[in-house]
A and B are shown apart, each in its own frame.
Chain A
Amino acid sequence: MKPRDPRDLRVRRQASKIRADLQLIADMIEPGARVLDIGCGDGALLEHLVYVKQVTGRGIELSQNGVNACVSQGLSVIQGDADTDLTDYPAGAFDYAILSQTLQATHDPRHVLEQLVRIGRRAVVSFPNFGHWRSRLYLLCRGRMPVTDALPVSWYETPNIHFCTIRDFSALCAEVGVTVERSLSLDAGGRAAPQQSLRLANLLGQSGLFLLRKA
């Protein structure tokens, strides 16, 4: 096996673009901030933040393959679980705690949300919106759990065990005393929809993206 040369990565880093929804998250992060990316996957967002925004970046990832890929790219990532491991960190350890498309896969989203705003001065959370009109129509017409382009896995196989709508998430934030600084609804391509009411956002958004802080 030819040894991988990490130097090849730098070229790729500078040439590559990240997914539109990840770019929106990156736009919310101040350069040079301390960032924890929870559920960082293969490190695409974290890598972008570290090398383009010069943040001090850490990651947590559940899958060992993801962790190994990140660390061998020079990123600081640990194998861990959002449900259990966030309590290890001291309060205010990071400027931003990011949870991208992971909340719906946690066992205790309320606890995770509370931990996010505890360890981060701000939290950035994105999740698929179960209130999207396609999901509503699917359930109304077929009477079965929606299987859509955005949520392609059947109920018995999906890792997503706690679905919510944008309205549900807003309500949870109010309940646990989390202030919403910004909220965006994203289309299927991960681009931000124009400003709209919560009612429309909840109907038309494929996913929600929130910038939060402790009240």
Chain B
Amino acid sequence: MNKQDIAESWAAKVQTLPGERVELGRAEPLRLDCGVELGPFTMAYQTYGTLNSERSNAILACHALTGDQYLAGAHPITGKPGWWDMMVGPGKPLDTERYFVICANVPGGCMGSVGPREINPATGEPWGLGFPVITVADMVRAQILLLDHLGIERLFCSLGGSMGGMQVLQLAASYPERIFAAVPIATSARHTAQNIAFHEVGRQAIVADPNWCDGDYYRHGKVPSRGLAVARMAAHITYLSEAALSRKFGRRLQDRSGVTYGFEADFQVESYLRYQGSSFVDRFDANSYLYITRAMDYFDLAADYGGILANAFQDTPVRYCVISFTDDWLFPTSESRDLVRALNATAADVSFVEIESDKGHDAFLLEEPEFWDTLRGFLFGCGEQLGLAAP
């Protein structure tokens, strides 16, 4: 495929992506943490359910590193169910007969919101590495602009796992008046050294791919797919657990009766990781991966509040429900516990549940009935407190 074809095929693909798209930051640009002013810029988002006449039933679901706005239903590129398809819909924990669920692609992403793959209006070329470095706080500033656009003064709830949980915490800390309840799931108030280290491995895999072309691969008609696939493979291991890998694969061999004394994918786990890597390349942009991992690395909520996390939540009116999973070693329960301790120091209204699961960090995306019951009950209790009418 020549470079013209790649650029055009992507532009055509974006145009056909279903869902809403809005131009924000026209009246006033978005002031990013890095000092750059971004605007006007595009945000792509999806909504599920109906906004009630009081505009009081809106839930903002925040996606994780490699997620996007397609929560429920078939994903337009992969054809597979959306990342929270089991969670969102009539009668499900995020009941679309009761709540109006919004999910937006983060700035820096690659599913229609502004990001390195999109065209920089100043140059007429893809942004590439010219795209400004964004932070979790910048993502949240963009969310606020989106809420203004939708005419939603106060969210009923913001929730999300992993990087989504970071956005929830940032929103609750920076804009407590815009949110009634917050559910940070499998997340942390700061990215740990170990997590930064894993991200750096992924980024180095991408930049070491000769097709990366110093981030300018769009114009060269290339895709650093090997680097991105390796980044995904390494990251994917951190989303699982030893128990989950053993249960799923053990030492079983892939379509063969014995080892081949070579370097093919002898083991099922190798074959699985290779598949995860190669299928990821079809739906994700390598530069977006650099930008979004960086945003997570920079996240340290306490740093903006004199190094004391509790100060981020001083006199907070927000109701919190912190959720972690026992076998998550990427965002372990201890991180959630630190968060709860900080919230207790301000006597905030907080619930904290650790869900028994051996599925690792990915548990928040999987079928975990106890997790769903917790979420359903918490949202119901909040709805009662707020006088949210039952459907």
Contact = CB atoms under 8 A, between A and B. Distances in A.
A124 to B, nearest CB: 18
Given A77-B351, A79-B353, A71 B344 contact: no
Nearest to A74: B381
A58 B381 CA distance: 13
A3 B380 CA distance: 13
A67 B352 contact: yes
Interface residues of B, number: 31
Contacts of B91: 3
Contacts of A3: 91, 372-373, 376
A85 interface: yes
Interface in B301-348: 319, 321-322, 340-341, 344-347
A94 interface: yes
B322 to A, nearest CB: 8
A4 B349 contact: no
A89 B345 contact: yes
B346 A90 contact: yes
Nearest to A51: B384
A65 to B, nearest CB: 9
A72 B344 contact: no
A176 B350 CA distance: 30
Nearest to A4: B373
Nearest to B345: A88
A93 to B, nearest CB: 4
Contacts of B351: 70-71, 75-78
Contacts of B380: 6-7, 74
Interface in B352-384: 352-356, 369-370, 372-374, 376-378, 380-382, 384
A1 interface: yes
A74 B356 contact: no
B77 interface: no
Contacts of A74: 377-378, 380-382, 384
B298 to A, nearest CB: 27
Interface in A1-19: 1, 3-4, 6-7, 10
A7 B95 CA distance: 14
Nearest to A6: B380
Contact of A58 (B346, B349, B356, B372): B349
Contact of A64 (B354, B373, B381): B354
A73 interface: yes
Interface in B9-24: none
A68 interface: yes
A6 B377 contact: yes
B345 A72 contact: no
Task: Name which of B319, B344, B372, B384 has the most chain A CB atoms within 10 A of its CB.
Answer: B344
B318 to A, nearest CB: 12
Contacts of B344: 78, 85, 88-89
A56 B91 CA distance: 29
B120 to A, nearest CB: 46
A3 B91 CA distance: 9
Given A7-B390, A67-B353, A79-B352, A72 B373 contact: yes
A90 to B, nearest CB: 6
A94 B347 contact: yes
Given A72-B376, A72-B377, A78-B340, A1 B369 contact: yes
A89 B340 CA distance: 11
A93 B345 CA distance: 9
Interface in A56-105: 56, 58, 64, 67-68, 70-80, 85, 88-90, 93-94
Given A6-B377, A71-B374, A76 B349 contact: yes
> Which A-B residue pairs are the 10 nearest by beta carbons?
A74-B381, A72-B377, A6-B380, A93-B347, A78-B352, A88-B344, A72-B373, A71-B351, A76-B351, A6-B377
Interface of B: 91, 319, 321-322, 340-341, 344-347, 349-356, 369-370, 372-374, 376-378, 380-382, 384, 390
13 contacts: A7-B380, A58-B349, A68-B353, A68-B370, A71-B353, A71-B374, A72-B376, A74-B380, A78-B352, A80-B352, A88-B341, A89-B345, A90-B346
Interface of A: 1, 3-4, 6-7, 10, 56, 58, 64, 67-68, 70-80, 85, 88-90, 93-94
